[in-house]
Amino acid sequence: MRLHRNLVFATIDALSEIFNEGSYADKVIEKTLKRDKRWGSRDRSFIAETTYDIVRWKRLYSEIADVKQPFKREDLFRMFTVWAVLRGIELPDWPQFAGTPERRIKGRFDELSKTRKYRESIPDWMDELGEKELGADTWTREIKALNNQAPVVIRANRLKITPKDLVAVLAQEEIETHNLKNYPDALVLKERANIFKTKAFQNGLFEVQDASSQRVADFLDVKPGMRVVDTCAGAGGKSLHLAALMENKGQIIALDIYGNKLKELKRRAKRAGAHNIETRSIDNNKVIKKLYNSADRVLIDAPCSGLGVLSRNPDAKWKLQPEFLDKIRETQQQILQQYSKMLKKGGKMVYATCSVLPSENQKQVEFFLNSDEGKDFKLLKDEKILSSDSGYDGFYMALLEKK
Ligand SMILES: C[S@@+](CC[C@H](N)C(=O)[O-])C[C@H]1O[C@@H](n2cnc3c(N)ncnc32)[C@H](O)[C@@H]1O
């Protein structure tokens, strides 16, 4: 690989904004990629992937480069140099790379790799918490898996096309995919590509959705004609899947505390041809109360630490704080206590998170079942999906029934 000056400089600029100004990596990369219209797909993927890589390995690379935050421009070049040397990429004859101590970099890497928190490049608190909650062996495996680059998985929108036909349609647009065993609607891309530009996407034939996330709507056991409340619907990844499973029949009420996310949901629903989703913003308690005892199915895709999706969001390693986790656990329990009231007798509810921590998952369900609100519920089954077992995002889902 030959390094191109304008691409490396764009990467350094992006890193400076992410690390020093606290901006979100995905937003910064999106903005950076718009900077030069002449950049082709390889140039764009160099910037995006290198930036994500250095964000992912921030702690390890900054230790090796012996630099500390806030990073000066020359510090970011030193981290970039570590990235290049460890990948065996030849450094060009630029002043920024003069006198690079290649052997020292490799030696430091070998030494630091003996300690998990450096090897896996995570904050101390996260390493301690992971080990405490999952045990040393499982955490060691899991955090290694969560550092892999996530594959691009899409969900065929059965309202418009079968997964088999979608493979053929995408092949016509030169996107190679294959179906995934045990995930009925999922396709995996053989190579990363900007699929949002395809006609297939614009015509609503698929959505980008990780394989583990695609299990959640299936888990809820919906049928056409039911009344389903998706309580934390966000931009609607699961609502859209539910609409497809319900063949557009019945009613899906999509709730969230953020109206802008629901607006995006509406746009996506239109593209997908999903006609049975109604959005309601939770502006006050009345919105919830009006729905008490009314739903055949309730989905709680709860806000969480996102520790199961570090592969696609490595930035979260540095943005997450232990205090946020304490707060989010409280919110999760409040949501369970309150939103479960929307379910009819005999109805079913799924509590799901994209976290691998038992304290956000099975412990929350246990606490709920032992509480006053939960005494009429029973746990039918649950699934703990580790990224190290599945190869996809870490997830948890529990199916509960109201007696
Ligand atoms: C895991 S995300 C949902 C993802 C979404 N279901 C999907 O599949 O694309 C959790 C969502 O919960 C929302 N949220 C946070 N607190 C909430 C609350 N108290 N009530 C309802 N939604 C909440 C967040 O805005 C966020 O969109």
Task: Give the three-class secondary structure for 141.
Answer: helix
Band of residue 67 on the pLDDT scale cut at 50, 70, 90: very high
Which residues constitute the domain of residue 370? 216-402
* 301 annotated as ligand-binding: yes
Count structural domains, the chain.
3
- Angstrom distance (rounded) from CA 49 to CA 55: 10
Q: Report whether the peptide linkage leading into residue 303 is cis, meaning its omega lies within 30 degrees of zero.
A: no
Q: Is 235 in the pocket of ligand 1 (CB under 6 A)?
A: yes
Global model pTM greater than 0.80? yes
In eight-state DSSP terms, residue 359 is G
Q: Residue 10: name the closest of 34, 42, 40 by CA.
A: 34
| Model confidence pLDDT, tens digit, residues 194-236 | 899 999 999 999 999 999 999 999 999 999 999 999 999 999 9
Ligand 1 atom closest to the CA of 353, numbered from 1: 1
Within a domain: 129: no
| Model confidence pLDDT, tens digit, residues 316-332 | 999 999 999 999 999 99
321 and 390 inside one domain: yes
228 and 343 inside one domain: yes
Q: Residue 71: name the closest of 80, 116, 46, 322 by CA.
A: 80
* 210 annotated as ligand-binding: no
Q: Mean pLDDT in the chain?
A: 97
Q: Is 316 in the pocket of ligand 1 (CB under 6 A)?
A: no
| Joined tokens for residue 64 | 């090796």
169 and 92 inside one domain: no
| Model confidence pLDDT, tens digit, residues 13-61 | 999 999 999 999 999 999 999 999 999 989 999 999 999 999 999 999 9
Polymer length of the chain: 403
Span from the CA of 258 to the centroid of ligand 1 (angstroms)? 8
Strand order across the beta sheet in which 153-156 lies? 177-180, 183-189, 153-156, 206-208
354 has catalytic annotation: yes
278 and 375 inside one domain: yes
Contacts of 344 (CB under 8 A, 6+ apart): 293, 294, 295, 296, 402
